[in-house]
Chains A and B, each alone.
Chain A
C-alpha cells in the first residue's frame, strides 16, 4: 500500500516554515491553540459509513469474527445489535439503499438526492452551533471513496434538516484536501464554494475525455493525438490557475497525489461494477482517512461524514488481504464467482450469504473494511488527537458507524433492516462503551436518546410519535 504520511505534526512543521501572517495557517494555529487552552472540548459528530454491511449472525461473533480489527478500539465503542429500522423501508427498493439512507437518519430516502430527514450529526450541529461554526471552519465535511453512484443515499451520510445533502461530497483526496486547507469557507454560506466544486467536477469530466483521446485507445492518429495532448496540457494549466490553492504558503504540504481509482462517471459503468486492485483501494482509503483525521485534528471541521464504499457497491476486487501479518484472503471476486460484469462483483457474496455456510469471501471483505474503519478511528485516537481533558478526539466526539443491509438475500425486510450494524463512540462520556449490546428497540428511539444526551431539543421522526428513551446506552 502506498502510504502518504500526512499528520498534524508534519502539517505544523510545514506551517512553522511558513511566513507568519498568512490567513489560513495563522487561523489554524490559533484555532488549535485556543482549543488547547480550554478545559472543555468542542462538540463534534461524524458518521463513518461502509458499504455492504455485516449480516447480523456475524455480528454475534463479536471481535472473534469480522469485527476483529475493531477490537483494539473496543473499549471506546458501543456496538449495537438488533436496532429496528423497518420504518426506513421504501417499497420497491431493496435494503441496500434504504438501509443505508436510514442509518442514523431513521427515515427512508426521499427520492434520488434527498434523505427523508436529517442525519444525527447535522441535528447536533444545528443545536450546538445555531449561528454557524467558528469563522473559517468548514461547516460540514463530507468525504468518501465510492463508485456506485446512482442514488445519493448510497454514499452521502450527512443531511440537512430538510433532507438535502449537507455539503458536496469530496471523493478525491485532492479535493478533500483543497476543501479543508485550500479555501476558507466563510461559515454557513457555502454557495460559492459549492459552485467551484461543481465547476471543478465539470472540468474533471472534460479532462477525462481529453485523456481518452490521448491514450492507448484513442481513435486518433499520432499528430492528432499530440494536438489533443497539447489541449490537455493547457487544460491542466488552466486547472492550476483556476482552482489552485489559495492562501497557502511556501513550506505547507502540497496537494496529495492524484489517486489511481476511478471517479465521476467512469466509476460507475451502469451498475456493472469495476475492477479494483485492493492496494489501490486501500491506498485511497488511507489517504482519505489521513486527510479527514487531519482536518479534525486541526479543528478545521467538527461535523460531517466519511464513506468507505457506497451501499450496494459493485467491485471486482483482486489482491492479497493481510491483517496483523497473516494472510486473510486472496481476493479475486470474478474468478471465485466465475462470472464477469456485475455477477463477478463482491456484492454477490452478500447475495449468496447463508449463515449455515462459511461465507469465506464475505467475511474477508467485511473484515478488510473493518480494518480500514479501525484505521480511521485510530487516527483520532493517536498522540496527535489528545485533547485538553486528557482524552482523545475519538473518545470526546460522537462518531457513529453505520452501514447498510448486511443480508443480501433480500427476502425478509424485517430481518434485513433490523440487522444493520450500528456502533457509536462514547462522545465524551455520554454513552456507554466497551460493549456489544443487544438493543432490541427502534432506531428512531436510539437516535433520539443520543440527541437527548447532547441536549438537543430537536427530535428525529414524526413529531407526534411517542418517544422511548433507551437508557441502557447512556453512560
Chain B
C-alpha cells in the first residue's frame, strides 16, 4: 500500500487544510490528519488489499464470518502491498453468497459503498463493474461502476428495476486517472449521495425499500458475475456498510486516506464508549459505595457525587476528581488509602480499577444526575425478549384483523398475563403454557366460525382457486401480509398455501381451505408474537418499516397497524421521521389511543387489585362490592378527562380538581350525589379531594388499616421512583394497630425516630402523612375509630433532593407532587416502560432523559410523551445480538 500511496503522494497538497469540501483531488495529509482513523459505524466488509500474494483478498472488517474474495484469474491482476491492479481479464468474487452483507443492508434499509480506486481507462462502459453485489448483467442488489467519465451506482429497491435502474451517476468528467475516494450513501428515506474525494457530487432520491434484495447474490470486484463488464484500474480500499455514512463520516474517511486504520468497530455508537462505561460501570460503584454519605441529601464534606456539577466541582477539600489523572484525584487517593468508604463494604479490586480507569479516561459524567433507582438491582437486565401479545392485545388484534369480537371467549380461555416489574405486558414474563396453546387453537376455530370467510378473503383475491399454481400462493401472500402485519417470505407462503392443497386433497373447497389457513395463521408465531429481527452485530440497529409500524401501533393502540400504517411501511415512508410524526398524530386522534392509554393507568396503578377488595364487613358494614368498580371507573374517567379532554400535562393527574363518581361512590366520599351513573364532579371547593391520590382506587392500597407503610411505599415506588432497602430479615411487618391515644401517624413517627428503622422509614412514611385522614376505603374523616385526632401535614423528600419540603394539608401535598420534576420524570419512565413492555435499565437513562425533555417542551401531555417515546431510539432502534 505504501508504495502505491507514495506514488500518488505528490498529488496531495496543503490545499486540504484550506477547505475540504472544495477538494477535487486528494491532497497531502498533515501528520495529524494522517494519523486519523477511519470511522467504521455499520461496517460490513473491508478489503485493504494488504496481501501481496495469493488469490485471496481477506475481509478485514472483523464483522461476522469474513467474506473473503477470490481472484479467479491471478494473471489478470497485479498485487502490491495495499493495492490490486486489474490488468487483464479476471473476476474477483466471494466464494459464497454475500448473504450476511445483503441481509444486514436489507435489514437496515441503508447502504454505503466506499472505495479508494485509481481508474486507468476512461473509455469503459456498461457500466464497468467496480464493486457489485449481483447475479449477472441484469440482476443485482447494488453496483458501483464506471461509465466512461462518470461514476454510476445501480441500486435495487422496490421502486427500481432488478437491474437497479434508473441509476445514480456523477456529472461528466468525474472519473480521472488518479487516486480517487468514492463514497455512495443511501439513507432509509431514499436520499442517495455520491461523494468524489469528499465532495458531494450527487444528491437525489432513490425511492423504495431494500426488501427485495436477494441474499443469494455474491459480492464481486472488477467485473460482473457474468464476466462481461470488466473494469480496469487499481483498488486501494473497498468497504461496504449497512449504514448511510454521514457527510462528516465521509470527510473523516477521506481525510484518513486509503491506508488508515479502521477503528470503532462495527457498532453504531449512540453513546461514546466513555459514556457507556460511566453508565454501566462507574455509576453503580458510586451509588453502592459513596452515595450513603455523598448524595444530595447527605452531602458530607459538602461533597455531592450524585450530580455532575457538584461531583466535578468537589467539596470542602476542593476538587476530588481531576479528569485524566487519577494520581492527582483526591477521590482516588482516599480510596486507595482505605479511608473511603469509612464504613460498610470496601471496594473490590475490580471496582477500584473501574474508578481509576474512569478518572484516567477523562472522568466522563454522562448524565446530570445519577438516579440510584437505576442501580438498586445492578445495571438491569437488558436481555432481548420477543413480545407475546397480551390478552388485551390479542383481543384487539383479532378485532382489528378479522373483525371478530373474541373478548369474552379469550378472557375465559387464555390464562391472564401476570404482572412483572409493575406491568403485565413485561415481555420476559409473557410465557406460554399448554393452556395457551389449547386456547389459541380453540380461539382460532371460534374466530373463523364467526367470520364471513369468503367476504374476508375477497379483500385479498378475486379468484377462488385452490391451486398453488394459480392464485392460492398470491392470495396467501396478500392475506398473510395483513394478518401477520408485514410481508410473508417464501417459506411462509409455502407453509400456509400448503394447507390449501391439503384441504383440496381431502375434497374440500376454497372456503374451507381459507378457513383452515386463517385458523393456522391465527396460531402462528407471527400472529401470537411481535416477531422482530434481533440478529445483527451486537449493536443498536434501526428497526425496519414494518417492525416500526407494529411498534407504533402496539404502543399507541395496543393493537396491530391499520392499512394506512402498513401502506406507509410498505412505501418506506416510515424511514422518514417527519412521516413517522405525522402518523403518530393521526394515530393519537383515533379512539383506540384513548382506550389503550387507560390500559396504562390501569397497569401503573394496579387497578386490578380492586377486583380482590374484600374489606372487613364488621369494620365496614356499609361497603358494597360495586363500590370497587365505581372506584376503578372514577380513576379511568378522571384520567380521560385530564389527559384527553383537557389535554393537560400528565403530572396534573396529581392535583386536578375534578373527579367522577356514581351516586354510590359520591355518598361514600361525602359528596352530594347527583345523576344516576358516573358523573363529573368539580372538587375545587372540596379541600381534601382532587388528584389521583385522593381517589378510592389508590387509597385502598393500604388495606383496612390504611397502612402508612403500604401507602408510603406505594407513593415512593409508584410515583417518585424512589428506592428503599428491604426490611431486615425476620422483622415482624404486621401493621401496628391504632388505639386510643395512638394514631397511625403516631406509630409512624415512632418508627421514624427509631435508630434501627428510621433510616428507611423516613424516606416513605411521611409521604403518606397527608393521606391519614382517609380511612382504608377512602372515606374522609377527622378522627379515627378511637377518637384520635388525625393530621394531614407532613413533609416530602423527593429522591435526589437535599432537603424535604413541608406541607400543611393533603391538598398541598398533591400540589407538591404535581409540580415536582421528579414526579414528571417518573411518569415519563412509567409510560416508557409500558410502551416498551420491558423494565428500563441504566443504559436507557440518557435516552429517557431526552424523551422527557422533549415531551416537557411540548407541554408534558400524554400525547407529547408518546410522540417523544416513539420518535426516540428506544423505539426506532433495536438492540441486536451478534450472529453465532
Contacts and interface: CB of A to CB of B under 8 A. Distances in A.
Please indicate whether A and B come from the same complex rather than being unrelated chains. yes
Interface of A: 112-114, 149-152, 155-156, 160, 164-165, 167-169, 194, 197-198, 201-203, 205-206, 208-210, 212-213, 218-224, 227-228, 230-231, 234-235, 237-238, 241-242, 264-271
A268 B498 contact: yes
Given A112-B467, A152-B504, A269-B490, A223 B383 contact: yes
A242 B434 CA distance: 11
B468 A268 contact: yes
A169 B503 CA distance: 10
Nearest to B504: A113
B104 to A, nearest CB: 12
Interface stretch (B152-160, B236-244, B334-342, B435-443): B435-443
Given A197-B506, A265-B493, A227 B516 contact: no
A197 B516 CA distance: 12
B383 A202 contact: no
B437 A198 contact: no
B783 interface: no
Contact of A219 (B383, B509, B534): B534
Contacts of A206: 520, 523-524
Nearest to A167: B506
Contact of B499 (A194, A265, A267): A265
Contacts of B423: none
Given A205-B520, A231-B432, A234-B432, A224 B386 contact: yes
Nearest to B500: A265
Contact of A220 (B431, B490, B491, B535): B535
B532 interface: yes
Contacts of B493: 265, 270
A205 B496 contact: yes
A198 B881 contact: no
Given A227-B388, A228-B386, 9 more contacts: A150-B470, A168-B506, A198-B516, A210-B525, A222-B881, A223-B385, A265-B494, A266-B491, A270-B493
22 contacts: A112-B465, A113-B504, A113-B509, A149-B498, A152-B505, A155-B505, A198-B503, A202-B499, A205-B498, A212-B491, A220-B531, A221-B384, A221-B881, A231-B432, A231-B525, A234-B432, A234-B437, A241-B434, A265-B497, A268-B494, A270-B468, A270-B473
Nearest to A225: B386
A164 B507 contact: yes
Interface in B289-326: none
Nearest to A235: B437
Interface string B474-516: 0000000000000000111111111101111111110010001
B573 interface: no
Given A234-B437, A238-B434, A269-B490, A208 B534 contact: no
B519 interface: yes
Contacts of B523: 202-203, 206
Nearest to B524: A209
B514 to A, nearest CB: 12
Nearest to B882: A221
B431 A227 contact: yes
B498 A266 contact: yes
A262 B467 CA distance: 19
B502 A201 contact: yes
A269 B535 contact: no
B428 interface: yes
A197 B512 CA distance: 13
B28 interface: no
A212 B503 CA distance: 23
Contacts of A231: 432, 436-437, 525, 528
A151 B386 CA distance: 38
A357 B680 CA distance: 93
Interface of B: 383-386, 388, 428, 430-434, 436-438, 441, 465-470, 473, 490-499, 501-509, 512, 516, 519-520, 523-526, 528-529, 531-535, 880-881
A167 B428 CA distance: 45
Contacts of A213: 525, 531
Contacts of B430: 227
A221 B531 CA distance: 11
Contact of A149 (B501, B516, B525): B501
A208 B520 CA distance: 11
A113 B507 CA distance: 7
A443 B529 CA distance: 55
Given A198-B502, A201-B499, A238 B437 contact: yes
A219 B532 contact: yes
Contacts of A270: 468, 473, 490, 493-494
Contacts of B495: 205, 208-209, 264-266
Given A150-B468, A202-B516, A221-B384, A237 B497 contact: no
Contacts of B467: 112, 150-151
B568 to A, nearest CB: 22
Give the one of B438, B470, B497, B501 with max A CB within 10 A: B501
A372 B386 CA distance: 46
Given A205-B499, A265-B497, A230 B431 contact: yes
Contacts of A155: 505
Contacts of B436: 231, 234
Contacts of A269: 490, 494
Contacts of A212: 491
Contacts of B497: 265
Contacts of B498: 149, 205, 264-268
A271 B505 contact: no
A150 B499 CA distance: 11
A230 B385 CA distance: 13
A228 B881 contact: no
A219 B535 contact: yes
Nearest to A216: B884
Nearest to B386: A224
B505 A168 contact: yes
Contacts of B505: 113, 149, 152, 155-156, 165, 168-169
Given A231-B525, A265-B493, A220 B432 contact: no
The 7 closest A-B pairs by CB, nearest first: A265-B498, A224-B386, A150-B469, A221-B534, A265-B494, A219-B533, A113-B504
Nearest to A213: B525
A155 B881 CA distance: 44
A219 B531 contact: yes
A202 B501 contact: no
Give the one of A150, A202, A223, A231 with max B CB within 10 A: A202
Contacts of A168: 502, 505-507
Contacts of A241: 434
Contacts of B526: 209
A151 B520 contact: no
A332 B469 CA distance: 26
Give the one of A112, A194, A235, A270 with max B CB within 10 A: A112
B434 A201 contact: no
A75 to B, nearest CB: 35
Nearest to B468: A150
Contacts of B431: 227, 230
A336 to B, nearest CB: 21
Contacts of A265: 493-499, 501
Given A150-B467, A231-B432, A266-B498, A220 B534 contact: yes
A311 to B, nearest CB: 12
Nearest to A113: B504
A157 B493 CA distance: 26
A305 B470 CA distance: 26
A334 to B, nearest CB: 15
Contacts of A210: 524-525
Contacts of B516: 198, 201-202
A227 B386 contact: yes
Contacts of A202: 499, 516, 519-520, 523
Contacts of B499: 201-202, 205, 264-265
A213 B509 CA distance: 31
